[in-house]
Amino acid sequence: MKLVIPGIILAGTMPTLYRIPVTSNLVRYVRHGIYLSEPTIVSVQVPDLSRPCLRHNEGMKPLDNRQALLRYCEAFKRSAGIRQTV
């Protein structure tokens, strides 16, 4: 069994996107409080913005940042298999 858990961490209004692979071995080892012998590789996506050095100060305030971040979040939802409910 291999499952991917999507994750988003917000620092203010700046998201960092994560994809965390979960295998049956990982579940078993965590359940028993044992360290895995092989690493769990987590994918991290930090959105590209036009002013990267101001990413944490500006967040979603400028319209161009907001548009870029929303595009990243929508693409992340699709890649993670998250469906929109009405």
Q: What is the mean pLDDT of the chain?
A: 86
**20 falls within a domain:** yes
pTM: 0.72
Best CA proximity match to 41, nearest among 26, 29, 58: 26
First to last CA, the chain: 30
86 falls within a domain: no
Residue 56 lies in a domain: yes
What is the mean predicted confidence (pLDDT) over 24-44? 92
pLDDT of residue 48: 84
> Which bin fits 81, alpha (ψ -120 to 50), beta or left (φ > 0)?
left
Does 69 score more than 80 pLDDT? Answer: yes
Mean pLDDT value across residues 37-42: 91
Q: Is residue 59 part of a domain?
A: yes
Q: How many independent structural domains does the chain possess?
A: 1
Residue 29: is its pLDDT beyond 90?
A: yes
Residue 85 included in any domain:
no
